[in-house]
Amino acid sequence: MPTEEPAGPLTPAAPSEHPSASYVLHVNGVDRPVSDAWIGESLLYVLRERLGLAGAKDGCSQGECGACNVQVDGRLVASCLVPAATTAGSEVRTVEGLAVDGEPSDVQRALAECGAVQCGFCIPGMAMTVHDLLEGNHAPSELETRQALCGNLCRCSGYRGVLDAVREVVEGREATAEAAVTAPDEDGPRIPHQAAPGAGSVQAHEHEGDVR
What pLDDT score does 158 carry? 86
- At residue 90, what are phi and psi to the nearest 5 degrees? -100, 165
Mean pLDDT of the region 174-187: 81
Using pLDDT thresholds of 50, 70 and 90, give the confidence band for residue 211: very low
Whether the CB-CB separation of 130 and 109 falls below 8 Å is answered with no
Partnered with residue 38 across adjacent β-strands are: 20
What burial letters (b/e) apply to 15-50, b meaning 16+ CB within 10 Å?
eeeeeeeebebbbbeeebebeebbeebbbbbbbbeb
Whether the CB-CB separation of 33 and 46 falls below 8 Å is answered with no
Q: What is the pLDDT of residues 75-91, one digit of tens each?
A: 999 999 999 999 999 99
Q: Going from the N-terminus, what domains does the chain have, and what CATH number goes with each?
A: 20-97 (3.10.20.30), 106-180 (1.10.150.120)
Full strand arrangement of the beta sheet holding 30-38: 30-38, 20-27, 91-93, 69-72, 75-78
Q: What is the pLDDT of residues 150-175, one digit of tens each?
A: 999 998 888 999 999 999 999 999 99
Per-residue pLDDT at 176 exceeds 90:
yes
What pLDDT score does 121 carry? 95
Q: Is 44 helix (H, G, I), strand (E, B) or coil?
A: helix
Name the pTM for this structure: 0.78
